[in-house]
Amino acid sequence: MLLVDTGPVLAEALAPALSRENRALETAPDGPHALDRLRAGDWELLVAGPNANGLDSLELLRRARAIRPDLKVILTGESDPLRVLTALRSRAFSYFHRPVAPAALVDMVQQALAAASWKNDLRVVSARREWITIEVRCRLQAVERTTHYLREFLADLPAQACEDVAIAFRELLMNAVEHGGKYDPHKRARVSLVRTSRALIVHIADPGTGFSFDFLPNSALSNPAGSPTQHAEFRAGHGQRPGGFGILMSRQLVDDLIYNERGNAVLFMKYL
Q: Are residues 88 and 134 in the same domain?
A: no
Q: What is the mean pLDDT of residues 231-240?
A: 58
Q: Are residues 64 and 130 in the same domain?
A: no
Q: Are residues 50 and 64 in the same domain?
A: yes
Element (H, E) at 9: helix 8-20
Q: Are residues 125 and 224 in the same domain?
A: yes
Which residue range forms the structural domain that includes residue 218?
A: 120-272
Q: Are residues 127 and 108 in the same domain?
A: no
Q: Are residues 130 and 91 in the same domain?
A: no
Instruction: Show which of 90, 116, 142 is a domain's final residue.
Output: 116
Q: Are residues 156 and 243 in the same domain?
A: yes
Number of domains in the chain: 2
Give bridge partners of residue 27 from the DSSP assignment.
Answer: 3
Lowest mean pLDDT among 109-123, 155-169, 229-243: 229-243
Q: What is the mean pLDDT of residues 46-62?
A: 84
Lowest mean pLDDT among 151-155, 195-199, 228-232: 228-232
The CATH number assigned to the domain holding 214 equals 3.30.565.10
Residue 222: CB partners within 8 Å, gap ≥ 6?
215, 216, 230, 231
Higher per-residue confidence, 42 vs 206: 206
Q: Are residues 129 and 251 in the same domain?
A: yes
Higher per-residue confidence, 14 vs 171: 171
Instruction: Show which of 56, 87, 116 is a domain's final residue.
Output: 116
Helices within 68-158 (DSSP H only)? 81-89, 102-114, 140-153
Lowest mean pLDDT among 61-65, 121-125, 214-218, 267-271: 214-218
Q: Are residues 223 and 263 in the same domain?
A: yes
| Mean pLDDT for the chain overall | 88
The CATH number assigned to the domain holding 58 equals 3.40.50.2300
Q: Are residues 138 and 65 in the same domain?
A: no
Count Cα atoms within 13 angstroms, Cβ side, for 59.
Answer: 9
